[in-house]
Every structure is written in structure tokens, then in C-alpha cells.
Amino acid sequence: MENAYPELDKILAKFQDKKGSLIPLLQEVQKERGYLSRETMQYLADKMEIPSAEIFGVATFYSMFRLKPQGKHLIRVCKGTACHVSDVDSIKNAIIEILQLPEGENTTSDMQFTVMEVACLGCCSLAPVIMIDGKTYGKLVPEAIPAILNQYKNGDSE
């Protein structure tokens, strides 16, 4: 096989003698490539001489691994208890509706936004909370969502 991924080889070399290090290895690969494509996982399996099912198994088991490319802006919707009881679902539904995300998809077709549910974001007194890229938005109501998303659509807010 041709050596198509020198950056992956570098990561593989780093973990070469570390048994049981598949998870940190995959984390590093994801950091480097943004997500774990099938092609990437197959490449790692070939190089490591392990069954590709082993890598797919780990990558699909842990929610921290992304198997699809992520949009430019990451919207984290808190699913912690305080946010749950504050009806964060209505916030999520508003986001999905505005972004016109098809069922089962979490990234918009223009690759601008990815929506994901996460555990408590650590600011429960502001529930319901979302975080877009590094910025937190709290005490949300669905009506506030269009204006918030517009900042990212138009001006690529920081």
C-alpha cells in the first residue's frame, strides 16, 4: 500500500510500543483529521495489522469519536438534568428547524453547522444552555435562536 498519510504514520509511530492505546491513538487521529473516516480507520488497521472491525468497534462505541466531518460551527446542546427540566428540547428543536437538518443528520449540507448533544456544560444556573464554538448562551427561549444563529450565518461571529 502506498504511503498516503504521513501525518497518520507519525501518530502511529508515537503509539507503536504502547499496548492498549487504541483510544488515545484514535483521539489523536481525530484531532489531526477532524473525524475518523472509514478510509482512515482502514488505513490504521492495515498499518497496525489488526482487524478493521476492532477499530470500527471502538470508534462507534464511544460518543467522543466522530465518524463524519464536522461543520464549521459546533453547536453543543446541553442534555444535563437542569437543562433537561428547563425544556432544552424546545431549544434543540428550534435549532434543527432553522438549520433545516434532515432527521438523523447532525451537520448541515453546507457544512456550516454541526449540532451535538453533550453532558452538563457546567453552568446549570443558566439552563437551558447551548454552546456555539466556545461561546455559551444561557436562559434560552426558542424565540432567541434565530438571532443567535444569524450571527454565525452572516458574520461568522467569534
For ligand FES, the binding residues (CB under 6 A) are 78, 80-83, 120-124, 127, 129
- What letters, b where the CB count within 10 A reaches 16 and e where it falls short, cover 50-82? eeeeebbebbeeeeebbeeebbebbbbbbbbeb
Cβ proximity to ligand FES: between 48 and 124 the closer is: 124
Asked if 73 and 84 count as a contact pair (C-beta separation under 8 A), the reply is no
Q: Identify the helix (H) or strand (E) that includes residue 132.
A: strand 130-132
123 labeled part of a ligand binding site: no
Cβ proximity to ligand FES: between 59 and 94 the closer is: 94
Shortest CB 82 distance to ligand FES, Å: 4
Shortest CB 141 distance to ligand FES, Å: 15
Question: Among 39, 117, 23, 22, which Cα is nearest to 79's?
Answer: 117
120 labeled part of a ligand binding site: yes
83 labeled part of a ligand binding site: yes
Shortest CB 27 distance to ligand FES, Å: 24
124 labeled part of a ligand binding site: yes
Indicate the pairing of strand 135-137 with strand 113-118: unpaired
Shortest CB 69 distance to ligand FES, Å: 27
Known binding residues for [2Fe-2S] cluster = 78, 83, 120, 124
